[in-house]
Structure 1
Amino acid sequence: MGSLGGVIATLLSLPLAWMLGALFMVMSVSLAGIKTGVNKRVHVVAIALLGLFIGSRIQAQELLGLARWYPSVIAMLVYMAIMLAGGYWIFTRARVGRISAMFCAYPGSMNSALVLAEGAGGDLRWIAISHSIRLVAVVSGAAILASFFVDDVTLRSDTYALTLSDAAALLLAPACWWLARRCRVPLPEFLGPMAAGAIMANSGVSYSLPAWLVFLAFLILGSSVGARFSGTPWRQVARVGRFGILYALFALTTAALMAWLVASFTQLSFAAVMLALIPGGVGEMAVIATVMGIDPVYVVSHHILRLLILIFMTPLMVRLASALKEPQTPPEQ
């Protein structure tokens, strides 16, 4: 069912098609009353592949360029604070719980938010709904903007072969996973492979995970989240979904205002700052930036920095949220 959803989403050119398509298809089946599920071991392996995939996109020289773009970096930090505070307030109104509300308001990677939220005890159902709506709204909006300049902004990959360097990365990931667990690093199955990917990418070892392997990881993660909706009434989904739409509009409006402010006082263009700020997928934003003639390194470096900040801030944010009393009223009421 997840594969069918991925194919349909790909034909519709949806962002993160193999994840969102699988998520929505399996979620629909689950909400229809059919029992669904994904093996936990397979799910953990998919998380490790995701960490390796993200690590391969972390380049030290890209992050060094952030010193030249400090106005937009400062704007990004302010934007993150506004999104976390505003989103947290919005989703606490939906009564999904404080920890879940915090991850629903995560201004960035849906995959990372789901992985981190699972370790923190958040409810992945509401987090998946809010981020799905945000991703579709943000990435589709950026693609529509780019369509005024070019004809094709669909993310594609022609890498399907598994090379020796790719195999080396896959073998190194489990070792870093084990090492991270021995060192008591939080989320070792995610952060360990991510560190392995970043080390290889910055050590001159050129590798790129085959597209089919990345799609398979997205498919497993999307199906796993969709399967968590078994036994969940539709009215709960509709209730939290309304707040997800409100949060997406809040994210786009705030990003536009911040980008206009930065562009007014610097030589950075409004479109470049907008793509660097809006919380969409790194790959999709990089491709859209390229076809619009904007430096993709500028856009990607901001998204990577935001992802790293969120990952390392998560333990503190979880402790703060856990220290507060959880609301007792469930979402359906």
Structure 2
Amino acid sequence: MLKRTVITVGLGFVGGWFATLFSLPLAWMLGSLFMVMGLSLMGVKTGVDKRLHRTAIALLGLFIGSRIQADELVGLVLWYPSVLAMLVYMGLMLIGGFWIFNRASIGRMNAIFCSYPGSMNSALVLAERANGDLRWIAISHSLRLVTVVSGAAFVASFFVDDVALASSSSALALVDILPLLLAPLCWWLARLLRIPLPEFLGPMAAGAIIANLGFDYSLPTGVVLTAFLVLGASVGSRFSGTQWSQVVSMGRYGITFALFALVVAALMAWLVSSFTQLAFVAVLLALIPGGVGEMAVIAMVMGIDPVYVVSHHILRLLLLIFMTPLMLRIVNQPLK
């Protein structure tokens, strides 16, 4: 298994590198996923050791947790009109998406995970724990992410000429090692306390605690990109034995859902901006189900408060995580 894991992750690295050349959103994850997926569909034997996969999940949990700031979530009280709109939007996305994907004959549980309005990483992690079929969930979210982020970036291009991203260090210093050691401890504690998804929620809690204690800490870029790379390669390897015709068929539903998400978000943003002083573009970026980082960067480029945008996405992420058990119980009930 070690040899196959090394080969699979190596192939994923090539895909991630190519994806960065085309500035694909979440390049190291989606590039890795598409490369390994394509080769798996052509018959290449791929696979990633489960222990490495779960370690990547723990690192992603730590990464997401380190971005959760309590003061940002407190600010949501002042923006309650758009928060209420976001809650309605979540409901419409889950119901509408479930209706769309249920027609793809992939099962009710898979349909609900395909319908998640944002957070591809969390949807994949939660779906795996529920024994969902990650192939279709990965396709639907990849198409949604590319469509939404590309559309938002296209809109932003009318406001600015160029986008400059700040560079971050990829070196692993001693101060970076301590949170990495804290993550497995919180993973173990979460498992001991029987918290659902302990390898994800435990490290996420650790990252949130560190961030809100006042420490200026963020995971090194290399560690985060490696986690994305491993998760993408792992999901891509799940396509072994799948037919291309199945992928194309599922892709139609994924694009339909992405367009549905954009149209409904635009309508909701227009309603909120019409009855409040909140700007249409700001509300739109807070609602559309793109990546948190990508939406924050676009917001900064357009002169919009990134805290406003990020706080909505973080709240939606937390709600989705804790709502998942209830939603699964509902969709798994037998039809009458």
The alignment partner of 1:228 has SS state of helix
Letter aligned with residue 135 of structure 1: L
- In 2, distance between residues paired with 1:170 and 1:178? 13
Which amino acid in the other structure matches residue 122 of structure 1?
Answer: G
Mapped partners of 2:132, 2:167: distance in 1: 33
Which is further off, 314-323 or 126-135?
Answer: 314-323
Stretches of structure 1 that go unaligned for 5 or more consecutive residues are 326-333
Structure 1 position 185 matched with structure 2 position 195 = yes
Q: Hey, what's the Cα distance between the residues in 2 that align with 1:24 and 1:228?
A: 11
The reply on whether 1:310 has 2:309 as its aligned counterpart is: no
C-alpha distance in 2 between matches for 1:186 and 1:243: 30
- Matched residue, 1:217: 227
The equivalent of 1:93 in structure 2 is 103
Where 2:303 maps in the other structure, the secondary structure is coil
Q: Secondary structure at the match of 2:202?
A: helix
The verdict on how the C-alpha distance between 1:229 and 1:201 changes in structure 2, with shifts beyond 3 A counting, is same
**Kindly, what percent of the aligned residue pairs are identical?**
74
* Distance in 2 between residues matched to 1:249 and 1:34, nearest whole Å: 33
Between 89-98 and 201-210, report the one with greater CA deviation.
201-210
Whole-Å separation in 2 of the counterparts to 1:165 and 1:314: 34
The equivalent residue for 1:164 is 174
Q: Give the whole-Å Cα distance in 2 for the aligned partners of 1:41 and 1:160.
A: 24
Q: Does 1:139 align with 2:145?
A: no
Structure 2 letter corresponding to 1:201: A
Report the CA distance between 1:123 and its aligned residue.
0.5
State whether structure 2 residue 210 is matched by structure 1 residue 200. Answer: yes
Q: Quickly say closer, same or farther: Cα 1:154–1:237, change in 2 above 3 A.
A: farther
CA distance in 1, matches of 2:160, 2:66: 28
For the 8 Å contact 1:143–1:153, the answer to whether it is kept is no
Amino acid at match of 2:99: W
1:69 aligns with 2:67: no
Is 1:236 paired with 2:242?
no
Q: CA deviation at 1:155?
A: 5.5
Query: Displacement, 1:205?
Result: 1.7
AA at the equivalent of 1:129: I
Q: Are the equivalent residues in 2 in contact too, given 1:27–1:227 (CA < 8 A)?
A: yes
* SS at 2:161 equivalent: coil
Q: Secondary structure at the match of 2:278?
A: coil
**Kept after mapping to 2: 8 A contact 1:99/1:121:** no
Rounded to whole Å, the distance in 1 between the matches of 2:123 and 2:162 is 29
Superposed displacement of residue 151, structure 1:
2.8
State the secondary structure of the residue aligned to 2:332.
helix
Q: In the alignment, which residue of structure 2 is the partner of 1:52?
A: 62
Deviation at 1:156, TM superposition (A): 5.7
Q: How many Å separate the matches in 1 of 2:334 and 2:133? A: 17
Please, what TM-score do these two structures have when normalized by structure 2? Answer: 0.95
Unaligned runs of 5+ in 2: 1-10
Task: Determine the C-alpha separation between the residues in 2 that align with 1:155 and 1:286.
Answer: 11
Partner of 1:31: 41
The total of aligned residue pairs comes to 325
Task: Work out whether 1:83 is the aligned partner of 2:117.
Answer: no
Equivalent pair of 1:38/1:224 in contact (CA under 8 Å): yes
Distance 1:155 1:58 in 2: 21
Aligned AA (2:196) = P
Q: Does 1:130 align with 2:140?
A: yes
Quick check: 14-23 or 201-210, which moved more?
A: 201-210
Structure-2 residue corresponding to 1:331: none
Indicate the SS of the match to 2:239.
coil
Aligned with residue 114 of structure 1, among 90, 115, 124: 124
CA contact (8 A) 1:155 1:284 kept: no
CA distance in 1, matches of 2:236, 2:164: 25
CA RMSD of aligned residues (A): 1.0
Deviations 1:17-51 (A, max 9, x none): 00000000000000011111111111000000000
Residue aligning to 2:5? none
The code of the aligned residue for 2:312 comes to H
Distance 1:226 1:239 in 2: 17
**Aligned counterparts of 1:79 and 1:263: Cα–Cα separation in 2:** 15
TM-aligned CA deviation for residue 125 of structure 1: 0.2
The equivalences for 1:241-320 within 5 A come to 241-320=251-330
Q: In structure 2, what residue type is equivalent to 1:235?
A: S
What is the Cα deviation at residue 153 of structure 1? 3.9
